[in-house]
Amino acid sequence: MRGKLRDKRVDMKRSRFKFKRERERELEGRRRLVKRDYRDLDEWLDEEMLDLSDEEEQFDEEEATR
């Protein structure tokens, strides 16, 4: 009986540790995705800001002539 309880306790500790490691990996993966998304967003915003500055100048000129 003692052997079975000890084995069960060891199995529970192993499964808890395994679950904790899986959860940490999942969270780390999410962090990487978020960082990548923000990097992509920053690049996109930089491109848009460059494009918008050109469009705003044209728009202002059109408004001034009207």
Domain boundaries of the chain, sorted by first residue: 1-64
CA 40 to chain centre: 11
Q: Whose structure tokens read 């001034």? A: 64
pLDDT of residue 55: 53
pLDDT of residue 57: 55
Identity of the amino acid at 16: R
CA 53 to chain centre: 29
pLDDT of residue 39: 86
Length of the chain: 66
Can you read off the two tokens belonging to residue 57?
Answer: 């100048």
Measured CA to CA in angstroms, residue 37 lies from 30, 42, 45, 60, 61 at distances of 10, 9, 12, 33, 36
- pLDDT tens-digit map of 8-60: 888 888 888 888 889 899 988 888 888 888 888 888 888 888 775 555 555 55
Please state, in angstroms and rounded to a whole number, the distance separating the CA atoms of residues 6 and 2.
6
